[in-house]
Amino acid sequence: MSKARGLADLGNAYDDGALSNRNLIINGAMQVAQRGTSFTGLTNGGSDYTLDRWRWSEGGSPSFVTDVTQDTSAPDGFASSYKIAVTTAASSLGANHSLRLMTRLEGQDLQQTAFGTSSAKNLTLSFWVKSNKTGTYIAWFYNGDADRHISKAYTVDVADTWEYKTLTIDGDTVSGFTNDNGVSIQLEFVLAAGSDFTSGTLATTWQAQVTANRYVGNVNLADSTSNYWQITGVQLEVGDTATPFEHRSYGDELARCQRYYYRIDGGAAAFCRASTSALFNTSTSIRAVFQHPVYMRAVPTLGNTAMSTFDIEPFDQAPSNFASNTGTVRQSEINVTSPTARTVGFAAALTIDDANGYIEWDAEI
Amino acid sequence: MNQMNILNAVYQQRDGSNTSIKTTIDGQELSVPMDPANRHYAEIMRQVEAGTLTIQDAD
């Protein structure tokens, strides 16, 4: 990109009201991976968050199997990419089979688009993509508040080469986004799709959602175990022009991700004081309070490893149960069951006593 | 949207009131707060209303 063109693009971005904080996508550079950097054997029609804010998803119950990794292959200026590799192939797809990578955006973060008004602004999606499989792929935008969609096709032109793609999406004057913390835009990168999704006419303008019009013309990435697809530098911004990727610090990106998910783990030291405060509320029940690092999107779900990976200190004893999860978007309290009766009012701490142990809080959309 | 596989849903109580639901979702045991904005709770209630899931009372 020439300097003059870059300045012009930034000027356009300014006119659209977005010179900073332009990128609506969180973790577009695939830096943050709190759940791990490798997810293997993904199959059976599952749907799981992998790298932060990015959800791998299969539709139907296809026979193909994929691995997901945070990969170090990336275009200049990026350190990481999201890689999906096929490990068990399916040369043909069932009608309801699909393979997609998606992220979801809150409606309260999209009000500047003016969707649903005569002033609706266009959006521009840009990203870097690499695959051995050339051909047509679909990026699908779904307005979950109004059950409307639009699909944009792009092509991987050269195998095994990072390519920069930009797609401009018309503003939708018909339907806007609810101003709340629910999902309003679901963006999907489609990698395989059966005839249920491809038998119609591609929805190249905003329209009522019709399944058959979603992914028309998409290649079948799952047809060979040689196949892979990688992406990074994903940016969605208001306006007609793709501006340079808005790099954010790791700490900034991590905090944005923690609105949706965070994990406390034992780490290499295999010892972590998980709870900041706890006490015996009854002789066998400890209330352990966790202050979340940022306000979460919703009251979060608690996940955890086996009780044997935790200790109640200073008694060096594993709890027998996490009996309840009570909280708000700011803090949560776990009611920890002690296998041994103690004096009510005793102070205690819940610790993670295993390198593989963790507590996780999930407020994903 | 893919449907979550939800099994063994049981209410959890704090001070005698239901505050969360312990359940296994897609093979992972989770404690789900009763917040309509929580995606797990929303799906639990969708399946309850569809008649395909029952939440057991706390012990």
Q: Pull the structure tokens for residue A16.
A: 């659209």
Closest to A71 measured CA to CA, from A51, A49, A91, A54: A51
Query: With an 8 Å Cβ cutoff, are B20 and A322 in contact?
Result: no
Model confidence band, residue A268 (pLDDT cutoffs 50, 70, 90)? low
A325 touches chain B (CB under 8 A): yes
Q: Tell me the sheet residues that pair with A289.
A: A277, A333
Residues 6+ apart with CB under 8 A from A58: A42, A43, A44, A45, A46, A47, A97, A98, A99, A100, B2
Burial A264-287 (b: 16+ CB within 10 A, else e): bbbeeeeebebbeebbbbeebbbb
Q: Which class for A131: exposed (0-12), middle (13-18), buried (19 or more C-beta within 10 A)? A: buried
A68-90 tens-digit pLDDT = 999 999 999 999 999 999 999 99
pLDDT value of residue A270: 56
* pLDDT over threshold 80, residue A16: no
pLDDT value of residue A288: 93
pLDDT value of residue A353: 86
Closest to A302 measured CA to CA, from B14, B28, B48: B28
A228-247 tens-digit pLDDT = 999 999 999 999 999 999 99
* pLDDT over threshold 60, residue A17: no
Q: Tell me the sheet residues that pair with A322.
A: A336
Model confidence band, residue A358 (pLDDT cutoffs 50, 70, 90)? very high
Phi, psi of A303 (to 5 degrees): -125, 155
Inter-chain contacts counted by CB atoms under 8 A, chains A and B: 67
* Angle subtended at Cα A76 by Cα A189 and Cα A101, rounded to the nearest 5 degrees: 15
Model confidence band, residue A102 (pLDDT cutoffs 50, 70, 90)? very high
- Give the pairing of strands A38-42 and A65-71: antiparallel
Flag the least confident range among A142-156, A161-175, A259-273: A259-273
Region of B35 please: left (phi>0), alpha (psi -120 to 50) or beta: beta
Average pLDDT over residues A84-98: 96
Q: Pull the structure tokens for residue A214.
A: 């979603």
CA of A79 vs chain B CAs: smallest distance (Å):
31
A307 touches chain B (CB under 8 A): no
Contact between A321 and A315 under an 8 Å Cβ cutoff? The reply is no
Q: Which residue has the tokens 């500047």?
A: A112
* pLDDT over threshold 80, residue A267: no
- Rg, C-alpha atoms of chain B: 11
A291-323 tens-digit pLDDT = 999 999 999 999 999 999 999 999 999 999 998
Sheet holding B17-25, edge to edge: A261-265, A358-362, A301-304, B28-33, B17-25, B6-14
* pLDDT over threshold 90, residue B37: yes
Looking at residue A120, what DSSP letter applies?
Answer: P
A45 touches chain B (CB under 8 A): yes
Model confidence band, residue A3 (pLDDT cutoffs 50, 70, 90)? confident
Q: Which of B21, B31, B59 to mutate to test the interface with A (most CBs of A within 10 A)?
A: B31
Give percent helix, percent strand, percent coil of chain B, each to the nearest 5: 20, 40, 40
pLDDT value of residue A266: 76
A147 touches chain B (CB under 8 A): no
* pLDDT over threshold 80, residue A18: no
Closest to A40 measured CA to CA, from A60, A62, A61, A70: A70
d(CA A58, CA A46): 6
d(CA A84, CA A169): 25
HSE on the CB side for A132, CA within 13 Å? Answer: 12
The yes/no answer to whether this complex scores an ipTM above 0.90 is yes
B8 touches chain A (CB under 8 A): no
pTM, 2 dp: 0.93
Residues of B in contact with A303 (CB under 8 A): 28-31
Q: Pull the structure tokens for residue A264.
A: 């406390």
A41 touches chain B (CB under 8 A): no
Alpha carbon B24 to chain centroid distance? Answer: 8
Q: Pull the structure tokens for residue B32.
A: 């789900």
Residues of B in contact with A298 (CB under 8 A): 35, 37-39
* CB neighbourhood size of A291 (10 A): 10
Alpha carbon A4 to chain centroid distance? Answer: 34
A275-295 tens-digit pLDDT = 667 899 999 999 999 999 999
Closest to A35 measured CA to CA, from A50, A47, A57: A50
d(CA A324, CA A312): 16
pLDDT value of residue A356: 87
Query: With an 8 Å Cβ cutoff, are A301 and B12 in contact?
Result: no
Contact between A325 and A359 under an 8 Å Cβ cutoff? The reply is no
Model confidence band, residue A8 (pLDDT cutoffs 50, 70, 90)? confident
A172-217 tens-digit pLDDT = 999 999 999 999 999 999 999 999 999 999 999 999 999 999 999 9
Closest CB to A302 among B14, B31, B39: B31
* pLDDT over threshold 70, residue B1: no
Query: With an 8 Å Cβ cutoff, are A298 and B30 in contact?
Result: no
Amino acid at A171: G
* Angle subtended at Cα A296 by Cα A272 and Cα A287, rounded to the nearest 5 degrees: 50
Q: Pull the structure tokens for residue B39.
A: 């995606």
A251-263 tens-digit pLDDT = 999 999 999 999 9
